[in-house]
């Protein structure tokens, strides 16, 4: 009897294990069949979320049509990248962007002070939407070809730039094979200018430059906020102090921003103790970045700004303004009071999107507003001299007429 009972129990165990495996296989087959029915039969609801099954069905339908009907060669990786770009472009976020692995590597190099391409920085005019060249790196391909600041970009390699963002224009330039041809509209000229140039793999751009002007007035231009900015600012600031600097002009014109950390590290060198900025996330949680105040500036300071002083440059301007450290001269700043974070994806590509709003030490919201200078001084192409810089010198006590007369006598 004992042996018979054992045989029966073993048979039940074998039957149970087999039934379990069969059940798993059956469930998988049914699930696969349901998915196929969902994808290929026309009863799915309209897609809502991009990751919904309805959206997957729609993508599969479109992909099937392409494979059956398209007469050209299909670039599958290119299709995937285009879909991800579409996810970013579908957001109500002018600063959202998808980067391929190669583009993300280029972006990291740019933040490290190295750039690839033709050596220009491009901004989008907030009112007209026109793309404008706001900075040309010295001795870059663009500089050698004759590209000038304030040139408006009409087309790149024949591709019209109307309606394009600055990020899209930069992507077109960096991804193009062979030489780059820019069609530019220059202020004061009726006919567009067409210039051709070769790209360079690596272009070195100084984040900060400096000089000693008349009457011991120091001048520091911050071109961008990258990983080199704080160190280069410290070096140039110290050199000017050694040369006997009695007052300082910091030029943030055409500085579109960059790394917030670099901006805060630079401000740490001149602000008193206290908050540099406040940040607020999507849930309303607020944090702040503080300055220890070890070396506050103790000489007169003038800040130069214009319509392309944006983002991190506005953080800088807002902090200096709120602490009453400087007279701000120039034109209304851009008005970008939000920050972006970049998130690395599994294959080395990346997604950048707006995640944080920022506020000045006095909790001013600059987004869409910008900063109004203490003294508004327009600057046009017709001006023979830099009227904004001249006004800054006058504020710092320089007698320009006497200086010009002295130069003529020499």
Min mean pLDDT across 257-261, 271-275, 403-407 is at 403-407
| CB proximity list for 122: less than 8 A, separation 6 or greater | 131, 132, 133, 134, 153, 166, 169, 170
Q: Which two tokens stand for residue 63?
A: 């992909």
pLDDT at 408: 42
Q: How far apart are CA 325 and CA 300, in angstroms?
A: 8
Kindly report, residue by residue over 263-316, the tens digit of the pLDDT: 999 999 999 999 999 999 999 999 999 999 999 999 999 999 999 999 999 999
Q: Which residue has the tokens 């327009």?
A: 378
At residue 6 the predicted structure's pLDDT band, cuts being 50, 70 and 90, is: low
Q: Dihedral of CA 222/224/227/228: which sign?
A: negative
Min mean pLDDT across 26-35, 45-54, 99-108, 325-334 is at 26-35
Min mean pLDDT across 187-201, 205-219, 280-294 is at 187-201
Q: Which of 48-52, 106-110, 189-193, 322-326: highest mean pLDDT? A: 322-326
Q: Structure pTM?
A: 0.77
pLDDT at 46: 58
pLDDT at 94: 85
Residues 88-105, mean pLDDT to the nearest whole number: 88
How open is the CA angle 236-237-239, to the nearest 5 degrees? 65
Res 105 pLDDT > 50: yes
CATH 3.90.226.10 fits 208-343+350-401, yes or no: yes
Res 48 pLDDT > 80: no
Higher pLDDT, 34 or 279: 279
Residues 360-368, mean pLDDT to the nearest whole number: 96
Nearest to 391 by CA among 342, 349, 337, 329: 329
Are 377 and 395 spatial neighbours (Cβ–Cβ below 8 Å)? no
| Integer angstrom CA distances of residue 281 from 62, 73, 340, 354, 363 | 37, 44, 11, 10, 15
- In our burial notation (b when 16+ CB lie closer than 10 A, e otherwise), range 292-321 reads eeeeebebbbbbbbbbbbbbbbbbbbbbbb
Q: How far apart are CA 282 and CA 53, in angstroms?
A: 27
Q: How far apart are CA 151 and CA 225, in angstroms?
A: 23
pLDDT at 113: 67
pLDDT at 5: 57
Q: Which two tokens stand for residue 164?
A: 């394009």
- CATH domain 116-204 topology: Pdz3 Domain (2.30.42)
Residues 177-187, mean pLDDT to the nearest whole number: 90
Share of the chain above pLDDT 90, in %: 53
Helix (H) / strand (E) element for 32: namely helix 2-40
Q: Give the residue extent of every domain in the chain.
A: 116-204, 208-343+350-401
Kindly report, residue by residue over 393-403, the tens digit of the pLDDT: 999 999 887 65
Determine the 3-state secondary structure of 202 from DSSP: strand
User: Could you check whether 116-204 and 208-343+350-401 share the same CATH topology?
Assistant: no
Q: How far apart are CA 309 and CA 134, in angstroms?
A: 10
Min mean pLDDT across 187-196, 233-242, 298-307 is at 187-196
Q: How far apart are CA 406 and CA 402, in angstroms?
A: 6
Residues 155-175, mean pLDDT to the nearest whole number: 85
pLDDT at 45: 55
Q: How far apart are CA 35 and CA 41, in angstroms?
A: 10
pLDDT at 327: 98
Residues belonging to the chain: 410
């Amino acid at each position: 009897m004992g042996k018979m009972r054992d045989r029966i129990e073993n048979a039940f165990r074998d039957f149970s294990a087999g039934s379990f495996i069969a059940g798993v296989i059956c469930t998988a087959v049914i699930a696969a069949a349901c998915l196929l029915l969902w994808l290929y039969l026309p009863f799915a609801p309209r897609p809502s979320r991009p990751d919904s099954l309805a959206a997957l069905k729609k993508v599969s339908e479109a992909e099937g049509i392409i494979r059956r009907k398209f007469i050209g060669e299909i670039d599958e990786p290119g299709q995937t990248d285009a879909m991800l770009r579409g996810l970013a472009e579908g957001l109500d976020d002018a600063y959202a962007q998808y980067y391929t692995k190669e583009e993300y590597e280029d972006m990291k190099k740019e933040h490290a002070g190295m750039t690839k391409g033709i050596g220009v920085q491009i901004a989008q005019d907030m009112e007209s939407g026109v793309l404008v060249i706001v900075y040309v790196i010295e001795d870059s391909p663009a500089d050698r070809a004759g590209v000038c600041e304030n040139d408006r970009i009409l087309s790149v390699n024949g591709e019209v730039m109307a309606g394009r963002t600055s990020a899209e224009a930069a992507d077109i330039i960096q991804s193009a094979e062979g030489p780059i041809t820019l069609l530019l509209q220059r202020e004061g000229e009726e006919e567009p200018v067409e210039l051709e140039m070769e790209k360079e793999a690596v272009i070195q751009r100084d984040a900060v430059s400096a000089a000693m002007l008349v009457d011991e007035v120091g001048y520091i231009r911050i071109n961008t906020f990258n990983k080199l900015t704080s160190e280069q600012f410290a070096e140039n600031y110290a050199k000017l102090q050694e040369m006997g600097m009695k007052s300082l002009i910091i030029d943030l014109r055409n500085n579109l921003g960059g790394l917030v950390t670099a901006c805060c590290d630079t401000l740490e060198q001149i602000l008193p103790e206290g908050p540099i900025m406040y940040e607020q996330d999507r849930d309303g949680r607020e944090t702040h970045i503080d300055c220890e105040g070890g070396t506050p500036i103790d000489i007169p300071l003038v800040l130069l700004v214009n319509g392309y002083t944006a983002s991190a440059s506005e953080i800088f301007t807002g902090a200096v303004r709120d602490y009453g450290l400087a007279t701000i001269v120039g034109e209304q700043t851009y008005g970008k009071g939000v920050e972006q974070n970049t998130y690395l994806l599994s294959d080395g590509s990346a997604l950048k999107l707006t995640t944080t709003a920022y506020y000045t030490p006095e909790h001013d919201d600059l987004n869409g507003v910008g900063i109004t200078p203490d003294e508004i001084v327009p600057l046009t192409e017709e001006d023979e001299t830099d009227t904004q810089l001249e006004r800054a010198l006058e504020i710092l006590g320089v007698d320009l007429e006497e200086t010009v007369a002295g130069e003529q006598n020499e």
